[in-house]
Amino acid sequence: MYPSASLPVSTRVVALREHAPVWGPVLAGLAALYLPTFVGLATGLWTEGEQGHGPMILAICCWLFYRRWDEMWVKSSYDSPSAWGWPAAFIGLALYFVGRSQGILLFEVGSLVWILSAILLLTRGTIALKAQWFGLFFMLFMVPLPSQVVDLVTMPMKIAVSYVSEHVLYWLGYPISRTGVILQIGQYKLLVADACAGLHTLLTLEALGLLYLNIIRRDSTFRNTCLAILIIPISFTANVIRVTSLVLITYHFGDAAGQGFLHGFAGMVLFLSALALIIGLDSLLTTLSRLKTQGVKFQKTTNVAP
């Protein structure tokens, strides 16, 4: 058995001091490698609307590592460093140098996952890697995808969102028509942009749903599996709500309102509606799982009754 992460703080501090490696060179090496990368992202790619989720993902990853750090450290005190860290370090460094030299952000940013995994394996062992697996996995949502892949997936998504939004508003009685991803309502024409219904938005909402699952942590396998599968249609529905809201704002308040502050506010509506749908479905699935469990117990009780 491993000592619990709920050990007294004084006990954990002593354990850290006794077994702590020299983290200074490790942190200095990480800063030397990735500080230029993140400075470049902060002044470049992350300033674009489609990639604006990058800083949020990075901050959440740091919080996830911090959240499991004490538990990881105490449990891994009884583990030994793993030699598997060397292949991971080699792959990470190879990806970094190829990505950095050739300007391939997919490799350059993605190498961070391999490098951090190698550090955990070489300093604390496989138990530490298992403790921090979700933070490392969550970091993948920060990795920029090739534009060819994004464009290939985004266009069908935009057409689908435009189609559903058009039919919802038509059903509500609004004078709306659609040509591809262009919606015309009244005298206004609106182009459904990548930021409104693209792959990056879907990935951001997918990350939000998985983060919710990780934080809530319920024991029901049925509930967790169903909710993980339903995150994709939830993301699609949230995108439809966002586009429909922007169309209604433009129709009732004019083009200036639709492209101004309320346009940014519609982004908040996207995440709030997605979170509300996730929580609502989670409550429904939890209720169904509870009823299923009660039904099984009632059936067993009935079977053993005289």
Q: Give the residue numbers annotated as catalytic, written as ranges.
A: 196, 242
d(CA 92, CA 19): 26
d(CA 82, CA 121): 5
33 closest CA partner among 107, 136, 123 = 107
**Per-residue CA distances from 273 to 6, 65, 160, 269 (Å):** 36, 28, 19, 6
* DSSP conformation letters of the chain: ----TTS-HHHHHHHHHHH---HHHHHHHHHHHHHHHHHHHHHTGGGSGGGTTHHHHHHHHHHHHHHHHHHHHHHGGGS---TTHHHHHHHHHHHHHHHHHHT-HHHHHHHHHHHHHHHHHHHT-HHHHHHTHHHHHHGGGGSPPPHHHHHHHHHHHHHHHHHHHHHHHHHTT--EEEETTEEEETTEEEE--HHHHSHHHHHHHHHHHHHHHHHH--S-HHHHHHHHHHHHHHHHHHHHHHHHHHHHHHHHH-HHHHHTHHHHHHHHHHHHHHHHHHHHHHHHHHHHHHHHHHHHHHHHHHHH--
